[in-house]
Chains A and B, each alone.
Chain A
Amino acid sequence: MTHDSFAVSDEVLEAFEGQTGIRVKLLPAGDAGQMVNQAVLTKDNPLADVIFGVDNTFLSRALEAGVLEPYQSPLLAAVPDDLEYDPRVTPIDFGDVCINWDKAVLAEAALPPPEALLDLTDPVYRGMLVVENPATSSPGLAFLFSTIATFGESGDYTWIDYWEDLRDNDVLVTSGWEEAYYSYYTAASDGDRPIVVSYASSPPFEVIFATEPIDEPPSAVLTEGCFRQIEFAGILAGTTARPAAEQVIDFLLSQQFQDDIPLGMFVFPASTEATLPEAFVEHAILPENPLSLSTDEIEANRQRWIEEWTEVMTG
């Protein structure tokens, strides 16, 4: 069972099936949030044996509902400790939600690129930023978490103050990443917003999936204020094929699969032993100090934060 963005090369999957005799059947489950909901709803009679793609923003929901069985893969030794959250899940990959900007447009306007989230409230960037609604979009939610982790809930300047300033600086909110990027963001559309909430991996996408070969991506990434999304795999409680499920988890952490991750799903492999492809090394950005919040804090506050955000933005 996996989310919509899952990708693996045929050869890699076939090699695994050939070696182990296990046939892997991929089941769809919508986006990451929908997938966790499906796992929770089918708890008594699980749809699958292994779930892949639960991220740290939805992990608590899956753990609380008790849909996962603990498993410690021997391959976890190659995974950095800060990616390991809970013995019931195995980290497979990670990526960062970051601000992207259109280099050409900012250069033409003779504007310096933003260096921190707070810069986006500066009137020189008025009417330039487009973000996604955290209630309907996963990068939108990650960006909201970034602002909460950066500005906090108490003190002189809270995340609410920050969003009030963004609102006054004419930020545009869309429902999904697709509209923000392909209808409003200047580097990818005829739109009029040169700054967008996207991924740290968007620039390498621009190079690898260009229509005409280009050397440099049109977008740059703000490496401050990025929110790290970690994707986990786990064994679904009640599985009837526990040994095979363990082998699938090991496969997801194996060198073969980990090497395949960057160009398939455009995120970073969790294992330090994986080799990164050249285009990825050259253009992908790995922020040094990504932000995160504890999964319990997220689960306890998600609804309240989204509602408070909505109030600020419609107020």
Chain B
Amino acid sequence: MIERQQPNRGRRVGRLTLIAVPLVFLGYFFVYPVAGILGISLFSDGGFSFSAFSEVASKASLRGAIWFTIWQAVASTLLTLVVAMPAAYVFARFSFPGKSFFRAAITVPFVLPTVVVGVAYLALLGPNGPLGVDLRQTIWAILIAHVFYNYAVVVRTVGGLWAHLDPRLEEAARMLGAGRWRTFREVSLPLLLPAIGAAASIVFLFTFTSFGVVLILGGFSYSTIEVEIWRQTTAFLNLPVAGALAVLQLVGISAILVAYSRYQERRAVEQQLRPVIEVARPPRGRRESGLVWGVLGFTGLFLGAPLAVLVGRSLRVGDGYGFDAYRSLGEASATLVPPVEAIGNSALFATAAMAIALIVGTMAAALIAYYRGAVSRWFDVLLMLPLGTSAVTIGFGFLVALDAPIDLRTAPILVPIAHALVAIPFVVRTEVPVMQSVRNRLREAGAVLGAPPMRVWREIDLPLIFRAMLVGAGFAFAISLGEFGATSFIARPDAPTLPIAIYRLLSRAGAANFGQAMALSTLLMGLTAASILAIERFRIGEMGEF
């Protein structure tokens, strides 16, 4: 390697910057606050409180919550993979009218507040719903909602790689006499495993820390570790037990992430990826058309029915229908400010969160992609941790840790920072594969010709990863639009975000308040779909994607 033989100062400085910025950001806004609250919770009277852990171990209800957290997360992850895989295949391998709209639309559930999805599912799964069976307050309601939320993660992550697999491999297998199923199992599946692992790890994290879905759809007989941390803190102010549970949650998630990164390293298969345009084609024959439209029909019904319930509710006026709820959004209401202002607040916070996530996330991605080894691996795990940490832990952590040197606890900038913590893993996961695929020879050639490293990066890498950055940006924007847990700790009451305004309206009686909440939810869906759609336009022909 040319660079190794001629170590140059610019390169070392560049590497240090790449390490320093994300490390300082995560250190100050994640590790330090979480360590602060755990310290207060677990070190009392000068010693470490082992008794909190024995209390967790001795209480049947807490042991039950831990066991339930694990098994429902495993079940939800497997179910999501199975249910969403056909759609991943169809989106990867076929072109059909309205494809980019469909792709944007499936991301909408991802950002909807759980209290809103709860309204839709409690209607759909009730005795008067289309299924005709009462699934409310059962494990099925929880599992179905988890699949609903995470469908897009599997379609986009697995479909993303599938869209680049060389179809000639499968064609060859078919020609040699293998059936469709055998071809999938022995040719496509092994090549797809890295993407399946990536999707599964994210779905697992999301469902492992499930909160609103479990509370609202599961009723009071189901509880996860996340729910227990919140209950122990809010209802009992039992910080030692909440702290012990938070430690168990962090340890469990770290173990999964380390196992996942080891697995990824062993599984990584070198393969020649093909451009999307060569892989996707219109369906041929009745069988393929049936498959494509059948899968799309199922996706439309499964994801669309709850969304349609919400839109329908937003238009209900007395016994008839109308746009009254939308028209009233500009007036001062039961909330502190006219609900329509929440749209502006959300857009502003989401833009700031996107910018922070993009800057920090891209630097972290560059570090992971260009400097392989143990440090990068641990860094990757650290980046993912905020996704799996309870919002209560982070929220209280901010309160106890961020009061000096500058008191950030009540600063509005804390809202996009908290959102960026959750969005950074998505930016990193989107960009790393593309960065790794930029061929080393191109970069080395640039260096040989005497260009400084920053210039090489700017002129060779940046154009190639630009589209991946946009996809990551879209996810960051959407995540910020939908975040509720940490926001409820830090958003000012006179500057609510959309989810906060929706919650506030739903916490008051009166049909007009309910109608406004549904109207805001519908606008949130529209805003999400529109921003994702805008980003889709930039991602034609790009190799890596979330």
- Minimum CB–CB distance for A27 against chain B, Å: 5
| Given A4-B488, A191-B126: A42 and B399 interface contact (C-beta under 8 Å) | yes
Partner-contacting stretch, out of A75-83, A153-161, A199-207: A199-207
Q: Are A26 and B492 in contact (CB under 8 A)?
A: yes
Does B336 lie within 8 Å of A175, measured CB to CB? no
In Å, the complex CA distance between A226 and B404 comes to 45
Does A117 count as interface, using CB distance less than 8 angstroms? no
Check: A246 CB closer than 8 A to any chain B CB.
no
Q: Which residues of B contact A310 (CB under 8 A)?
A: 61, 220
Partner of A33, one of B234, B317, B503, B508: B234
| CB neighbours of B56 from chain A (8 A) | none
- If A27-B492, A206-B510 touch, whether A179 touches B334 (CB-CB below 8 Å) is no
Whether B128 and A190, one on each chain, are in contact in the complex, defined by CB atoms closer than 8 angstroms, is yes
Residue of B317, B336, B490, B515 touching A8 (CB-CB under 8 A): B336
- A45 and B40 contacting across the interface, CB-CB below 8 Å: no
Q: How far is the CB of B393 from chain A (nearest CB, A)?
A: 12
B43 to A: closest C-beta gap in Å: 15
Q: Are A4 and B504 in contact (CB under 8 A)?
A: yes
Interface residue total, chain B, C-beta cutoff 8 A: 61
Q: Give the CA-CA distance A266 to B233 in the complex, in Å.
A: 28
Which of A7, A10, A199 is the one whose CB lies under 8 Å from B509?
A199
B508–A266 CB distance below 8 A: yes
| Binary flags per residue of A19-41, CB closer than 8 Å to B gives 1, else 0 | 00000011111110110011011
B511 near A188 (CB under 8 angstroms)? yes
Given contacts A190-B128, A302-B236, A303-B236, are A30 and B488 in contact (CB under 8 A)?
Answer: yes
In whole angstroms, how far apart are the Cα atoms of A183 and B336 in the complex? 25
User: Which B residues between 30 and 85 are near A, CB-CB below 8 angstroms?
Assistant: 40, 61
A296 to B409 Cα, complex, angstroms: 31
Chain A 151-195, CB within 8 Å of chain B: the 1/0 string?
000000000000000000000111111110111100011111000
User: CB-CB < 8 A to B400: which residues of A?
Assistant: 41-42
> Within the assembled complex, what's the spacing in Å between the Cα atoms of A201 and B508?
10
In-complex Cβ contact of B122 among A135, A184, A206 (8 A): A184
The reply to whether B119 and A192 form a contact with Cβ atoms under 8 Å apart is no
Tell me, yes or no, whether A5 is within 8 Å of chain B by CB: yes
**Is B237 an interface position by the 8 A CB rule?**
yes
**B237 is contacted by which of A2, A37, A136, A210 (Cβ under 8 Å)?**
A37
Contacts of A37 in B (CB 8 A): 233-234, 237, 396
Residues 505-532 of chain B: 1 if any A CB is under 8 Å from the residue's CB, otherwise 0? 0111111111100000000000000000
Whether a CB of chain B sits under 8 angstroms from the CB of A133 is: yes
Judge whether B115 and A178 touch: CB under 8 Å.
yes
Partner among B123, B396, B507 whose Cβ is within 8 Å of the Cβ of A177: B507
Across the interface, name the chain B residue whose C-beta is closest to A32: B234
Question: In the bound complex, do residue B324 and residue A211 qualify as a contact, i.e. CB atoms below 8 Å apart?
Answer: yes
Complex Cα gap A173–B61 (Å): 18
Q: Which of B40, B235, B325, B410 has the most CB of A within 10 A?
A: B235
Chain B residues with CB under 8 Å of A133's CB are: 219-220
Q: Which of A192-250 touch B at CB < 8 Å?
A: 192, 198-199, 201-202, 205-206, 208-212
Q: Are B127 and A192 interface neighbours, CB within 8 A?
A: yes
Q: Which residues of A275-292 are within 8 A (CB) of B?
A: none
| A120-142 at interface with B (beta carbon < 8 Å) | 133, 135-136, 141
B509–A41 CB distance below 8 A: no
Cα A160 to Cα B118 with chains together (Å): 31
Binary per-residue interface labels of chain B (211-244) against chain A in the complex, 1 for a CB within 8 Å, 0 otherwise: 0000110111100000100010111111000000
User: Are A173 and B220 in contact, CB atoms less than 8 angstroms apart?
Assistant: yes
Q: Does B470 contact A (CB under 8 A)?
A: no
In this assembly, does B493 line the interface, its C-beta being within 8 Å of a C-beta of chain A?
yes
* Closest-CB distance, A101 to chain B (whole angstroms): 14
Report which of A25, A188, A202 forms a contact with B514, defined as CB distance below 8 A: A188
Please name all residues of chain A whose beta carbon is closer than 8 Å to the beta carbon of B491 when the two chains form the complex: 28
Interface flag for B335 (CB, 8 Å): yes
A210 pairs with B409, CB closer than 8 A = no
Interface mask (B472-497 → A, CB under 8 Å = 1, otherwise 0) = 00000000000000001111111000
B3 within 8 A of A: no
Of the residues B216, B233, B488, B509, contact of A179 by C-beta under 8 Å: B216
Instruction: Tell whether, in the assembled complex, residue B493 and residue A2 are in contact, meaning their CB atoms are under 8 Å apart.
Output: yes
State whether B512 touches A27 (Cβ < 8 A).
no
Across the interface, do A45 and B403 meet the contact criterion of CB distance under 8 Å? Answer: yes
A34 and B221 CA atoms in complex are apart in Å by: 23
- The verdict on B377 contacting chain A, using a C-beta distance below 8 Å, is no
| B509 surroundings in chain A (CB, below 8 A) | 181, 188, 198-199, 201-202, 205-206, 209
Q: Is B443 part of the binding interface, using a Cβ–Cβ cutoff of 8 Å?
A: no
**B463 located at the interface, meaning its Cβ lies under 8 Å from any Cβ of chain A in the complex:** no
- State the Cβ distance, A299 to closest chain B Cβ, in Å: 10
Q: Report if B316 contacts A (CB, 8 A).
A: yes
Asked if B492 and A209 make an inter-chain contact with CB atoms under 8 angstroms apart, the answer reads no
Check A47–B119 contact: CB distance below 8 A: no
A6 touches B506 (CB 8 A): no
Tell me the minimal C-beta distance from B125 to chain A in angstroms: 10
- Bound form: Cα–Cα A178–B510 in Å: 12
Q: Which residues of B contact A188 (CB under 8 A)?
A: 509, 511, 514
- B97 within 8 A of partner (CB): no
Q: Is A61 an interface residue (CB 8 A)?
A: yes
Q: A178-B507, A199-B509 are in contact. Are A183 and B118 (CB under 8 A)?
A: yes
B318 at the interface (CB under 8 A from A): yes
B392 to chain A, nearest CB (A): 9
Residues in B neighbouring A47, C-beta threshold 8 A: 399, 409-410
The 8 Å CB contact of B512, one of A174, A184, A191, A210, is A210
Q: Chain A's nearest CB lies how many Å from the CB of B285?
A: 44
Is A105 part of the binding interface, using a Cβ–Cβ cutoff of 8 Å? no
Bound complex: CA A5 to CA B507 (Å): 8
Which residues does chain A contribute within 8 Å of B235, judged by CB atoms?
33, 135-136, 141, 302-303, 306
B247 to chain A, nearest CB (A): 18
In the bound complex, CA of A9 to CA of B512 (Å): 19
Q: Which residue of A lies closest to B215 (CB)?
A: A175
Q: Tell me the minimal C-beta distance from B458 to chain A in angstroms.
A: 42
A28 touching B215 in the complex, CB below 8 Å, given contacts A4-B504, A41-B40, A210-B512: no
A177 to B504, CA, bound (A): 12
Q: With A28-B492, A30-B488 in contact, do A179 and B510 touch (Cβ < 8 Å)?
A: no
Contacting pair B118 A179 (CB below 8 A)? yes
- Report whether A6 and B237 are in contact in the complex, using a CB–CB cutoff of 8 Å: no
- A10-B494 Cα distance, complex, nearest whole Å: 10
Which residues of B97-132 are within 8 A (CB) of A? 115, 118-119, 122-123, 126-128
Query: Which residues of the other chain, A, contact B407 by a CB distance below 8 angstroms?
Result: 45
B126 touches A40 (CB 8 A): no
Residue in A closest to B324 when the chains form the complex, CB atoms? A211
Interface residue from A26, A172, A183, A313 paired with B123 (Cβ < 8 Å)? A183
Complex: chain B residue closest to A185, CB-CB:
B509
Contacts of B492 in A (CB 8 A): 26-28
What is the bound-complex CA distance between A211 and B516, given in angstroms?
10
Flag B353-369 by CB within 8 Å of A: 1 or 0 each. 00000000000000000
With most chain B CB atoms within 10 A of its CB, the pick from A9, A41, A136, A178 is A178
A interface residue numbers (CB < 8 A to B) = 2, 4-10, 25-31, 33-34, 37-38, 40-42, 45, 47, 61, 133, 135-136, 141, 172-179, 181-184, 188-192, 198-199, 201-202, 205-206, 208-212, 264, 266, 302-303, 306, 310, 313-314
10 examples of A-B residue contacts, CB within 8 angstroms: A5-B507, A6-B336, A26-B493, A136-B215, A173-B219, A189-B123, A191-B122, A208-B510, A209-B513, A212-B318
Q: Other than A191-B126, A211-B324, give 4 A-B pairs with Cβ distance below 8 A.
A: A31-B234, A37-B396, A210-B510, A303-B235
> Which are the 9 A-B pairs with shortest beta-carbon distances?
A209-B510, A183-B122, A205-B509, A175-B215, A212-B318, A209-B512, A202-B509, A205-B510, A133-B220
